[in-house]
């Protein structure tokens, strides 16, 4: 018998108080933060959906592992455990520990990249793109065409466009391709999953041209859920085995352990090829630390090794994806336009459609982020023209293709009642939609303005 109510498959052993606030207090906090939620203090937030990265709750086993952490500089037992776990999961022999995902990206893509090189992905995450472009190479996104159809419920909108992949490799020349990067799930593409068939097809193309194929695997456990439930041949395959099969298609993987390894800090680079691993090892030692700890303390390595096992637990993954979907489906039912189907780690609201009366240069996504905070103390992030907008020569805004707001759900942190509360907050959001006003930017830095820009409400 399957019950409707989603229950958390864990008990709570340690709690962290949430500082409750009134709407009036929040109005003051938001004005102090210049209407930019990145500038709020966390104690001013009731529910924090800013990111699912580094915000997981660790299990009692992981905390026990923290005590076991071996802090030896070289050859720590904790390193042996982590290496063993990652080798078992990925099948790759060479493991390089880093302090987070972007450090692994920096090492691999600065080695493979440089002027004249081209990287191709379903969608590069912004740190991935930055690490590639910083070294003078080019990063091309080719999401599958199904992703463009907003109304379809195609389950694998995170796929890479394999026809374009073949074409691009031929046009740019295989020798100029730094790597093909498959990001699972596709975070910047709406958190949508990638099918095993698509990974197989991309792998076959890379093999045909002798191009390196890398998986950005920071949410691979969540991706495995979708493969099992939407690709019939995998319906009886355990989640971990699905991930193993996907790794077996590629030449290496990069992981931000802050997501599906259920820890607050950490990452790694895992590679098949010994020569490439040796070159990267040199950069690891210069930038991060010795090869048996990289950017991590022994206790971090213990927690990651345990988290990588726990994340494939059936009960956990079923609850995780269903809870995210519950939030998305329920606000959709209230008429809130969301990216559909709902992905694994976040719900993406289309603020441009929710507030059609707010012009893009008055930032509908920022308006929604401010409303969520004012009404419910919920912190979310704008992924629209504040984050990706640019100016032309006359300082006219070139808007982002879509005005999104991401509600990213930390793992094992909030209960189903927090989710129900969020659904209820959206009642008010919808009720106030027609009267919600936009904002103007009063101060902004040159780069990555979304983190520190100041705003003021219009009217
Ligand atoms: N790749 C993907 C797909 C990511 O989502 C992230 C981080 C990274 C790489 C970089 O990892 O933060 O450990 O250096 N995403 C976070 C987010 C920041 O909020 O989506 P990192």
pLDDT over 90 at 218, yes or no: yes
**Residue pLDDT, tens place only, 309-325:** 999 999 999 999 999 99
Q: Give the pairing type, strands 118-121 and 138-141.
A: parallel
**At a CB cut-off of 8 Å and minimum separation 6, what does 188 contact?**
123, 124, 125, 126, 141
Please give the pLDDT value at position 148: 86
pLDDT over 90 at 301, yes or no: yes
Enter the DSSP assignment of 59.
Answer: P
Enter the tokens of residue 125: 């995450």
Expressed in angstroms and rounded, the spacing between residue 121 Cα and the centre of ligand 1 is 15
267 lines ligand 1 (CB under 6 A): yes
450 lines ligand 1 (CB under 6 A): no
264 lines ligand 1 (CB under 6 A): no
Q: What is the mean pLDDT of residues 94-102?
A: 98
Contact criterion met (CB below 8 Å) for 81 and 302: yes
pLDDT over 80 at 207, yes or no: yes
Please give the pLDDT value at position 399: 94
Expressed in angstroms and rounded, the spacing between residue 219 Cα and the centre of ligand 1 is 10
**Residue pLDDT, tens place only, 256-300:** 999 999 999 999 999 999 999 999 999 999 999 999 999 999 999
**At a CB cut-off of 8 Å and minimum separation 6, what does 311 contact?**
221, 260, 261, 262, 317
Band (149; pLDDT cuts 50, 70, 90):
confident
Q: What is the mean pLDDT of residues 92-107?
A: 98
Percentage of the chain lying above the pLDDT 90 cut? 94
pLDDT over 90 at 190, yes or no: no
Torsion over CA: 288, 289, 294, 295 (sign): negative
Q: Higher-confidence residue: 4 or 16?
A: 16
Please give the pLDDT value at position 4: 87
pLDDT over 80 at 132, yes or no: yes
218 lines ligand 1 (CB under 6 A): yes
Please give the pLDDT value at position 188: 87
Contact criterion met (CB below 8 Å) for 26 and 446: no
51 lines ligand 1 (CB under 6 A): yes
Contact criterion met (CB below 8 Å) for 288 and 98: yes
101 lines ligand 1 (CB under 6 A): yes
Report the alpha-carbon distance of residue 300 to residue 103 in Å, rounded: 16
**At a CB cut-off of 8 Å and minimum separation 6, what does 373 contact?**
26, 30, 37, 40, 45, 379
- Bridge-partner residues for 407, per DSSP? 347
Q: For atom 11 of ligand 1, which residue has the closest CA? A: 101
Report the alpha-carbon distance of residue 261 to residue 307 in Å, rounded: 5
Torsion over CA: 206, 225, 220, 194 (sign): positive
**Residue pLDDT, tens place only, 404-438:** 999 999 999 999 999 999 999 999 999 999 999 99
Q: For atom 15 of ligand 1, which residue has the closest CA? A: 53
252 lines ligand 1 (CB under 6 A): no
Enter the tokens of residue 46: 């009731």
121 lines ligand 1 (CB under 6 A): no
172 CB-contact burial (10 Å; exposed 0-12 / middle 13-18 / buried 19+)? middle
pTM score, two decimals? 0.96
Q: For atom 19 of ligand 1, which residue has the closest CA? A: 51
| Strand, coil or helix: 443 | strand
Backbone angles phi, psi at 159, to 5 degrees: -60, 160
pLDDT over 80 at 447, yes or no: no
Expressed in angstroms and rounded, the spacing between residue 181 Cα and the centre of ligand 1 is 14
Q: HSE-up of 82 (CA within 13 Å, CB side)? A: 37
| Strand, coil or helix: 417 | helix
Report the alpha-carbon distance of residue 344 to residue 186 in Å, rounded: 10
Expressed in angstroms and rounded, the spacing between residue 345 Cα and the centre of ligand 1 is 12
Residue the block writes with tokens 């012009």: 359
| Ligand 1 atom nearest 186 alpha carbon | 3
Contact criterion met (CB below 8 Å) for 381 and 404: no
Contact criterion met (CB below 8 Å) for 246 and 312: no
Report the alpha-carbon distance of residue 376 to residue 422 in Å, rounded: 7
Q: Which of 56, 15, 20, 17 is nearest to 376 (CA)?
A: 20
**Residue pLDDT, tens place only, 35-65:** 999 999 999 999 999 999 999 999 999 999 9
Q: For atom 2 of ligand 1, which residue has the closest CA? A: 125
125 lines ligand 1 (CB under 6 A): yes
Expressed in angstroms and rounded, the spacing between residue 186 Cα and the centre of ligand 1 is 11
Q: What average pLDDT does the chain have?
A: 96
Expressed in angstroms and rounded, the spacing between residue 216 Cα and the centre of ligand 1 is 10
Please give the pLDDT value at position 161: 98
Band (126; pLDDT cuts 50, 70, 90):
confident
Q: Which of 101, 52, 5 is nearest to 411 (CA)?
A: 52
Q: H or E segment at 398?
A: strand 397-398
Q: For atom 12 of ligand 1, which residue has the closest CA? A: 101
Please give the pLDDT value at position 169: 98
Q: At what angle do helices 77-90 and 239-248 cross, to 10 degrees?
A: 80
| Ligand 1 atom nearest 381 alpha carbon | 19
Expressed in angstroms and rounded, the spacing between residue 259 Cα and the centre of ligand 1 is 8
102 lines ligand 1 (CB under 6 A): yes
Contact criterion met (CB below 8 Å) for 458 and 439: yes
Please give the pLDDT value at position 459: 80
Band (87; pLDDT cuts 50, 70, 90):
very high
| Strand, coil or helix: 441 | strand
pLDDT over 90 at 141, yes or no: yes
């Amino acid at each position: 018998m399957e019950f409707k109510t989603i229950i958390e498959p864990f008990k709570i052993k340690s709690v962290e108080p949430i500082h409750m606030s009134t709407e009036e207090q929040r109005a003051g906090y938001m004005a102090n933060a210049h209407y930019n939620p990145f500038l709020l203090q966390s104690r001013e937030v009731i529910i924090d959906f800013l990111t699912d990265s580094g915000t997981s709750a660790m299990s009692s086993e992981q905390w026990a592992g923290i005590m076991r952490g071996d802090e030896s500089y070289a050859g720590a037992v904790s390193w042996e455990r982590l290496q063993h776990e990652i080798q078992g999961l990925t099948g790759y022999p060479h493991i390089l520990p880093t302090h987070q995902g972007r450090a692994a990206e920096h090492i691999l893509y600065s080695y493979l990249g440089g002027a004249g090189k081209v990287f191709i992905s379903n969608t590069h995450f912004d740190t991935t793109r930055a690490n590639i472009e910083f070294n003078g190479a080019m990063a091309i996104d080719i999401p599958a065409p199904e992703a463009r159809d907003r109304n379809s419920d195609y389950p694998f909108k995170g796929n890479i466009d394999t026809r374009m992949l073949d074409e691009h490799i031929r046009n740019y020349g295989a020798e100029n391709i730094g790597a093909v990067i498959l990001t699972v799930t596709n975070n910047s593409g709406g958190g949508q999953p990638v099918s095993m068939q698509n990974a197989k097809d991309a792998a076959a193309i890379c093999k045909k041209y002798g191009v390196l194929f890398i998986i950005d695997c920071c949410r691979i456990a969540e991706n495995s859920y979708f493969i099992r439930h939407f690709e019939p041949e995998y319906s009886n395959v355990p989640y971990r085995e699905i991930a193993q099969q996907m790794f077996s298609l590629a030449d290496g993987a990069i992981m931000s352990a802050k997501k599906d390894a259920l820890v607050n800090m950490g990452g790694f680079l895992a590679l098949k090829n010994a020569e490439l691993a040796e070159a990267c090892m040199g950069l690891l030692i210069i930038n991060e630390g010795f090869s048996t700890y990289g950017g991590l303390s022994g206790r971090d390595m213990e927690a990651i090794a345990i988290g990588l096992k726990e994340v494939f637990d059936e009960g956990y993954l079923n609850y995780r994806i269903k809870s995210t979907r519950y939030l998305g489906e329920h606000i959709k039912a209230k008429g809130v336009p969301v990216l559909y189907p709902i992905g694994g780690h976040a719900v993406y609201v289309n603020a441009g459609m929710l507030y059609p009366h707010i012009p893009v240069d008055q930032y509908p996504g920022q308006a929604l982020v401010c409303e969520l905070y004012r009404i419910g103390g919920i912190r979310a992030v704008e992924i629209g023209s504040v984050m990706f907008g640019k100016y032309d020569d006359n300082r006219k805004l070139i808007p982002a293709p879509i005005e999104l707001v991401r509600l990213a759900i930390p793992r094992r942190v909030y209960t189903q009642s927090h989710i129900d509360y969020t659904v209820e907050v959206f009642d008010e959001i919808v009720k106030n939609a027609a009267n919600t006003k936009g904002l103007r930017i009063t101060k902004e830095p040159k780069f990555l303005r979304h983190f520190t820009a100041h705003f003021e409400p219009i009217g």
